[in-house]
Amino acid sequence: MLTASIPESHMWRAIDAVRDLFCATIPSSGLLWAISDEDSTQRQCKGCGEICQLLRWGEVQRRRDSAYQGSSPPRIVHNSYLELKLCAGGGPGCDPCRLLRRAFLLEQITRQDAERLEHLGNQWPIHAVLNLSSSGDTALALAIKSPKAILFSATIHLSNEPRPPLPRKPTKGAPGLRSDLSALRQVIDSCHHQHSCSSNYRWSRRNPTWLLKILPDNLVQLVEGPPEPVNYVVLSYSWGDPATMPAAEWARIKGAGTKTINGRPVPERLNPFRVRDLPETMQDAITISASLGVSYIWIDNVCIPKGTNWDTEASLMHEVYGNSAFTLVASSSAKATDRLLYDRLAWTHPSKACQLREWWWLHNTQMPLDRVRFEAPVSLRAWTLQEERLSPRILYWAGQRWYWSCPECQVAETGELEWAPPAADTTPRSSPQRFLELCRTGDEHLLHEEWLDIVEAYTRRDLVAPRDRFLAIAGLAVRFYNAKAGSGGTVITEDYLAGLWKDNFARHLAWSVAGAVDSRRSLQDIAPSWSWASLPLQVHTRTKTPFKSSEHFKFIAAEHIDPAHTSSIFTRKTTGDPSTDYINRGRAVEERGRGVKVVEVQGRFRRFISEDAQDVPWDAIEWKRGGRSSFDFGAFPGQSIYARNSGNGSIISKDAHSGEVVGQLDYLVPSDNKNRVMSPYVQEGCEKEIMCLELGELAMLLLVSNRRRGQPESYRRVGVAIGYANRKGFFYGCETRKLRLA
């Protein structure tokens, strides 16, 4: 039963709230009462009276000071979400409560999120706070709060001006229980005919190798990509986590893949087959595409037949996504068996103008697109990062509405929700197409910064198969290289090195982890220690710290490259077509880059910890006061010391009478601590073995020798130190050495 895991007290609280509300709706109770002078049909409840008390508080503050900024004390407007829903429900209902209910629903990205609002375990009081800003903006912050945490939140905007209500029944351009795609078709047509997206961002005239052709009568057919360009949709979605779903469900998702016989797709796919044979997300994506007048769709699991050279297909993703009519991002789907098309609860009741205290008009706010981008389940999947960043035009399909993004505009489905509170700072709106824009303009500095941003986003995501670590970002690497190489260059210095780029190699080496991670999940069998790709999956990294190059650091060569990643493209003769030749070169550089294991570099080099330094406990030097954390070395005057935080991997080195350097180790020492030879971490008690290589003026790599692995001349990375302003002269007078990093 659903209630089996719910505390009994929660269940009875919800039942009592519902019972009380039914009793209160008897006319003599006075729970529902009309107070609007503007519209005698507008219904309001006692909870609205609590909001009116907040508005009175705000009016008093504004009379005292028109630029007043602050927040009111909280007030409870309803005892639970179910009570709010019933108050907003059928019959005349309560108009402000309908708007409050919609506000909570619009904050939910998936259908499951919206359904969680009604779960009995989430029935806690709804608190409201009135926020007044110095600019004159007024907003009502809502929160469903348990004793331990805020479970749900929403925002209502208040103004002195009404907004035109939408028609009572959903029509063109108006949101309803089911999406009316006529408004979306207008947006797409406008983009196609009035923007330069297609002409400026289309990669080539080539279609994907295989496409699904959408046929009448709910049929589809796998066909070879036509020789001439066609409009096709690309589906970006999450397969789901096999560990959290029944084995049969995962088998059904995997089973949607196209099998082959002698290298060709099976006849069952080359002949028309039923749409319902595919998982639900794919079914609804096909329906949406057909409704928008598109006759082809590309879905990875179906259009890359089993047995296909997966490495080659992965390096073509910049073409697949760059040439599409648009990419459909299944933001509302957590797994491939989730529906995209279903009743949207936010639009159960038609919208209408809503007013309190004669001059306060209430409006729903719009969820920023960035929240949909970064919080939807699909954003947890590594493959979808390049699917988004390589797409000139994107349709985000969220639970209650859609969003459209192209290089020239961003549009939300619901016109009434165009207003959004201004940001607290002047940070510009982020754009999913920023990477493509920089590739097109060729700004070298910003392009490298964007790659570092991509790395930060990518390392946080998950992969079903860790061996795909490089493949899931291959399309971005090809696009990056080609943006720098250009079609006519003869002397090209850029090179791809296991997820890093040679022309700014020191900067790219200076990544760090937010906190040391479990060494037992390391991927150093896939990537070298100096590459972020060697980290475990779903690790938060930092790449965008201030950096100024050191004149002493130099990249020399990539020494060891796995032969399995030396592409046959290298050995092909040029075709005579500069465009084709440089595209092939980009693919070859990416394939080769996956196999780089050892590089030779040069830079200033020294010990991280002095030989005479004393090991001291971390808590003997850490100084905390309030939310601040610093260091106090008063107990060790005139001594060289070092300390290591076993909890987060921080490590500090301080020479006598000099400032300290704080580093961050990549890995924690596991509790069993058995694998001493192949371990990626620094053994406890072996901290003095750490050496360091200067990367920038305030950035260094922390290294240990590979002599235990039989490679005395090479070093492996164990961490980094960045921003040691208290010890700017750490490398003064140190020797410059050539090192091999593995």
pLDDT digits (tens, 9 = 90+) for 326-362: 999 999 999 999 999 999 999 998 877 788 988 899 9
* Assigned domain for 462 exists: no
Question: In terms of pTM, does the model score above 0.85?
Answer: yes
Identify whether 714 is part of a domain.
Answer: yes
Statement to judge: residues 669 and 525 lie in one domain: yes
438 in any annotated domain: no
Alpha-helical runs (H) found in 549-577: none
Q: Residue with structure tokens 């992965």? A: 314
Same domain, 79 and 42: yes
Domain annotation covers residue 430 = no
What are the two backbone dihedrals, phi and then psi, of residue 413, each rounded to the nearest 5 degrees? -60, -45
Q: What's the mean pLDDT when you consider all of the chain?
A: 87
**Whether residues 268 and 323 fall in one domain:** yes
Give me the residues of the chain with pLDDT under 70, please.
1-43, 163-174, 415-429, 487-491, 565-583, 673-678, 708-712
Which distant-in-sequence residues (6+ apart) come within 8 Å of 193 by Cβ? none
Provide the domain count of the chain: 3
Of 144, 159, 174, the residue at which a domain comes to its end is 159
190 and 144 within one domain: no
In which domain, by residue range, is 86 found? 2-159
Q: Are residues 205 and 150 in the same domain?
A: no
Is the same domain home to 148 and 186? no
Residue 224 maps to a domain: yes
Q: What is the pLDDT of residues 519-540, one digit of tens each?
A: 999 999 999 999 999 999 999 9
CA distances to 107, 229, 351 from 159, in Å: 21, 50, 17
Q: Output the CA torsion sign for 114, 116, 120, 121.
A: negative
- Domain identity same for 192 and 130: no
The pLDDT of residue 712 is 65
In a domain, 443, yes or no: no
> Taking Cα atoms as reference points, which of 342, 319, 326, 110 lies closest to residue 235?
326
Spatial distance between the Cα atoms of 97 and 103, rounded to a whole number of angstroms: 10
Whether 586 and 735 share a structural domain: yes
Domain annotation covers residue 139? yes
Give yes or no for a contact between 742 and 597, defined as CB atoms under 8 angstroms apart.
yes
Residue 478 lies in a domain: no
Could you tell me if 742 and 559 are in contact, meaning their C-beta atoms sit under 8 angstroms apart? no
Quickly list DSSP for 112-136.
Answer: HHHHHTT-GGG--PEEEEEEE-TTS
Which of 112, 128, 159 lies at the terminal end of a domain, its last residue? 159
Picking from 461, 462, 464, 459, the residue whose alpha carbon sits closest to that of residue 242 is 464
318 closest CA partner among 593, 588, 592, 586: 586
